[in-house]
Structures are given as C-alpha cells and as structure tokens.
Amino acid sequence: MEKAYKLLALQEGISNKKAKELIDRGLVYVLDRKVKIARAEMPEDTRFRVEKIDSVDIIYQDENIVAINKPALMDSYDIVDAIDEDIELIHRLDRDTSGVLLLARDREFLKDAIEAFKAREVKKRYTAWVEGVFFEEITIDTPIATHKRGGKAFSIIDKKKGKPAVTVVKPIEIQGKKSKVEIEIKTGRTHQIRVHLADIGHPIVGDERYGSVTRSKRILLHAKAISLLGYAFEAKEPKDIVKYK
C-alpha cells in the first residue's frame, strides 16, 4: 500500500506536489470513482486516469475587459495565470462551473464593474442538468445563509438569519429522470443556484454536497450569459451541458 499522490506521481512521471495538486483539483479517477484524498492508502498496482481540462477560450477583449469561456475543473484564479498579463477578476465561478468569466484590464472599469455587481445591475443566465423531472417555471425566493466548514463555504436555507436570494428556473429539456434547465439569478449569494435547486428537490447533477445521487465528473452547471455596463457575452455550452450522457 502507498499514498495515492505518490503512486500517481510515479505513474505520470511528475512531482509529488503536482500529483497532489491534480487530486485536490478533482481530476484523478480510478475507473469511474474520483480520488478525493491525496494521502489515501491504495494498492501499488492501482491505475489512475487523469481528466484533461479544456482550453481557455477568449470570447472578447478590448482595453477594458476580457471575457473568457472558463473550462470546468479550473479555478478562476488560474485563468489570470493562463492569460499571463496584468488583469484582475471581476467575479468568480466555482471550479466545477464552466462558462462566462470576466476580467478587467482597466482599474476604473474594474471599480465600476464591482459597483454594478453590488447594485444588482448585472444580468446572469445559467444552464444546468438537475435531478428529477422539471416541467414548469418557478421563482425561488428563500433566504440563504452561508457558513464556513473546514475552510470551505456551505450555504443553507435560513428564513430567520439568511439574506434575500431570488432564482428563476425554467425547463428546457427532459431526458429520462434528468432535466435541463435555464436559470437566472437576481442576487448573488454563495452557492445560490445549488442550494435553491436542492431545496426544491432538484439538485444539480453531480452536486453531492447538496444532495445529488448521480456521480459525474463535475457539477453540471454552466454560466451561459452575462451582461453589465453595456457589454453582453455568451459562452458556448460544453458537450456535457449540451446533452446529458
């Protein structure tokens, strides 16, 4: 028996540090099971599969802004390093979430963009695959409270202490016992879409933290479109969002 990250390092011919990073980023599998603990003891003949991350595509850029179609399984902060220039994130997407990510080149524009987010003057539209059959539009307005557990954020519905949150969900397609939906959020609470969909019994496919019972390479959520300060961008859906399985 040996630690997973050490076995992976030997298999891939990489450093222990790089192997641990790949596991921590959720990119390493044994058959169809994600390796979640880098220091887990595993048989020495274990064969790993490392998921490849899609390329970073630039949707649009000018002197103020860079709009990226962020691939899933990549941290928002890694986008800055990938572009390799003096830019700053205007907002963030979760590691599992693909789609439109905005960065600023100009400091004044960054300030204005942050103010637009605070004033709820930014429109954001998402698509996702959810558990169950979803067949009619619904507006979810239950308050959300966010807590920290082990350095990670976790949100819950809390009608007494939660902050206002509004999510509009529309059905797009039904495939078996899974549904594709379009989502518009009127507020920007941590994990808002994930916790709201879970609360109505339709967690996002692959979102084990909030109740999905389906294994997936990632949480099937895509930030499809965003508009602010006169700009409007849309990101092409990746294959796992275009069609489920």
Task: Give pLDDT tens digits for 102-146.
Answer: 999 999 999 999 999 999 999 999 999 999 999 999 999 999 999
CATH topology match: 2-50 vs 57-242: no
Active-site residue, from 94, 96, 207, 240: 94
pLDDT per residue over 63-83, tens digit each? 999 999 999 988 898 888 777
Across the chain, which distance is largest between two alpha carbons, in Å? 58
Measured between alpha carbons, how far is 37 from 39 in angstroms, rounded to an integer? 5
Query: Which CATH superfamily groups domain 2-50?
Result: RNA-binding S4 domain (3.10.290.10)
Distance CA 197, CA 206 (A): 13
- Using CA atoms, how far apart are residues 197 and 7, in angstroms rounded to an integer? 38
3-class state of residue 13 by DSSP: coil
pLDDT of residue 245 exceeding 80, the answer is no
Q: What is the DSSP string of 186-221?
A: SS--TTHHHHHHHHTT-PBTT-GGGT--S--SS--E
Can you give the residue ranges of every domain in the chain?
2-50, 57-242
d(CA 216, CA 178): 13
CATH code for the structural domain at 57-242? 3.30.2350.10
Instruction: Express each pLDDT in 133-192 by its tens digit.
Output: 999 999 999 999 998 877 788 899 999 999 999 999 999 999 999 999 999 998 989 999
Is 158 one of the annotated active-site residues of the chain? Answer: no
How far, in Å, CA of 135 to CA of 130, rounded?
12
